[in-house]
Every structure is written in structure tokens, then in C-alpha cells.
Amino acid sequence: RKEVEQDPGPFNVPEGATVAFNCTYSNSASQSFFWYRQDCRKEPKLLMSVYSSGNEDGRFTAQLNRASQYISLLIRDSKLSDSATYLCVVYRTGNQFYFGTGTSLTVIP
């Protein structure tokens, strides 16, 4: 079983829509959680860390559910510039980061 699993999509949504991505992780000992954004042919960039209490950064909200071992990312009022691949990342002790294969989002005018 993969450490981190994401729905690859693609998600095609109109501008202004709300879209949500989920990610599941297999190891309950995982400690830290992140969402990264990767544009086509570019490097991944940290979008936000995910905390147990949930956290929000502008139009982006991240949630962690440790009991069910999943992480979510909600994007409100989607912009064309949000089109990218979103990577779910999980860390546990031993300096091990595990990356999902990414969820592709295209925001359509």
C-alpha cells in the first residue's frame, strides 16, 4: 500500500467554484502534513502546512483528520492562476517525507 494516496483527477472547474481535494496516508505514526503546489515543468512549492486544528490561508483551507488518516485542501473562489498540480506530503520520524503523486486542477474561464 502506498504511503500517501491522492485522486489524480483531473479536476476541471469553472472560475469562482469551490473545489476540494483529499489525500489519505497509511501510517498512523505520521507527524507532519503539507500541501505543495507544482506548476507544469516547475518545482514544487510549499502551499501550506496542515495542523490538527485546521488552518486557513486566504481562499485555501487545510484540514487534518488523524482518526481517519486523511488530509483535505479546500480552494474557494477558484482563480485561473490556481491551475496546477497539488501534492500531498506526509512526514514521520526518520527524516522521511512521503509525497503523493498529485491531483491536477484546471480552472476554466
For binding to other proteins (CB under 8 A), which residues are involved? Answer: 4, 31-32, 34, 42-46, 49, 87, 91, 93, 95-97, 99-102
| Residue 2 DSSP code | -
Cβ 63 to other proteins, closest distance in Å?
18
How many residues make up the chain in this entry?
A: 109
Identify which of residues 2 and 16 has a Cβ nearer to other proteins in the complex: 2
| Sheet of 60-65, strand order | 4-6, 19-25, 70-75, 60-65, 55-57
Identify which of residues 17 and 55 has a Cβ nearer to other proteins in the complex: 55
